[in-house]
Amino acid sequence: MIDDVQRIAAPEPDYLRLLAGAPTTRTCRVLCGAGAERTLARAPASASRVLTRQHTPHVDTSQVAGVLRLFRPLWHIATDEDLLHTDKMHARGNFRIWAKLTSHAHAHAARSRGLDTAAHRALLTWVCSRLGPNP
């Protein structure tokens, strides 16, 4: 998986294509990022091997709690109110930001040796502070 693929130099997509195309390789490439199409346009041999394109739109407010609970069990304990508040103030339906928040929450749980993995308001406030001023 390559995130922010739009930032890689022109020869790199072809190099990755060669690695993935080797007869002994049993893998696939997942290219992520806004502008991935432009990167592939500069590498026609790679572009011709794209099997599927998937656009992930912002998560609608009415679906935030359900989507997050399907994404990670960590969010099962959080109240709908806390999830919606966090989405309104920080994530704004952006699934990438929710993935960052989830990663920070799991890291916090690991440091705490799993003492309290409940996604309560204090944990959500703390993980949101890890995003910085402009998530």
pLDDT of residue 115: 47
C-beta contacts of 37-40 below 8 A and 24+ residues apart: 38/6, 39/5, 39/6, 39/8, 39/13, 40/13
pLDDT the model gives residue 116: 57
Tell me the residue range of the domain where 80 lies: 61-129
Confidence (pLDDT) at 89: 92
Residues paired with 31 in a beta bridge: 2
DSSP state of 96: H
Which pLDDT belongs to residue 37? Answer: 83
- Give pLDDT, residue 113: 66
Residue 91's pLDDT is 93
Q: Is the dihedral of CA 33, 35, 41, 42 positive or negative?
A: negative
Name residues of the chain where pLDDT drops below 50.
Answer: 115
Confirm whether 27 is domain-assigned: yes
In-domain check, residue 52:
no
Identify whether residues 15 and 65 lie together within a single domain: no
Is 96 inside a domain boundary? yes
56 within domain boundaries:
no
SS3 113: coil
9 DSSP β-pair partners:
none
Same domain for 35 and 76, yes or no, is: no
Bridge partners (DSSP) of residue 2 are 31
CA distance 106 to 83: 16
Which pLDDT score, from 0 to 100, does residue 109 have? 77
Report field, pTM of the whole predicted structure over 0.75: no
Secondary structure of the chain: what % helix, strand, coil (to 5)? 55, 0, 40
Residue 127, Cβ density class (10 Å: 0-12 exposed, 13-18 middle, ≥19 buried): buried
> In terms of Cα–Cα distance, which of 27, 33, 29 is closest to 51?
29
- The identity of residue 93, as a single letter, is G
